[in-house]
Structure 1
Amino acid sequence: QPARFPTRLDIGGNTPSCNEKRRSLFDAQDHMDRQREALIANIEGKLEQQRSASVLFTVDWRLV
């Protein structure tokens, strides 16, 4: 007799418990994605280069 692989109905792929677990997994993944995006935005803000100009010294000269 050939091997029979279990079908989705055999496993119970559409039971309320399975759907709740699937929803919980999707919610957790969404939460992790939001945290990841916030972390990336935070790091990008810190890595953004800022330039400023300030006078270090002044040279005053005259021809005599």
Structure 2
Amino acid sequence: MISIEGALCRQPVGFPTRLDIGGNTPSCNEKRRSLFDAQDQVDRQREALIANIEGKLEQQRSASVLFTASWRLV
């Protein structure tokens, strides 16, 4: 069963109707806050994954002598 508070959070209701019913209810604000917190957590995890993948994709180059060739004309 859907409560009136839950219906207010999900359905677009005009401003005067919200004022008549009671405006933003605490449970609606709590749901909104938990949604924002969850989105922030997802964003942090996404950034961490991107940084991890970028670190793995970085190419490291180094120069070293593989062999030396010398000759003399006689």
* TM-score exceeds 0.5: yes
- The structure where helix makes up a greater share of residues is 2
Q: Which runs of 5+ in 1 are unaligned?
A: none
Tell me how far 1:13 sits from its aligned partner. 6.0
For the residues of structure 2 that align with 1:22 and 1:39, how far apart are their CA atoms? 26
For the residues of structure 2 that align with 1:63 and 1:53, how far apart are their CA atoms? 30
For the residues of structure 2 that align with 1:20 and 1:61, how far apart are their CA atoms? 81
Tell me how far 1:28 sits from its aligned partner. 0.3
Percent identity (aligned): 91
Over the residues paired in the alignment, what is the CA RMSD in angstroms?
4.4
Aligned: 1:32 with 2:42: yes
Q: Which has the higher contact order (CA 8 A, sep 6+)?
A: 2
For the residues of structure 1 that align with 2:20 and 2:57, how far apart are their CA atoms? 53
Tell me how far 1:57 sits from its aligned partner. 1.3
SS in 1 for 2:72: coil
**Aligned residue pair count:** 64
1:14–1:59 Cα change, 3 Å = same
State the match for 1:23 in structure 2: 33
SS in 2 for 1:57: coil
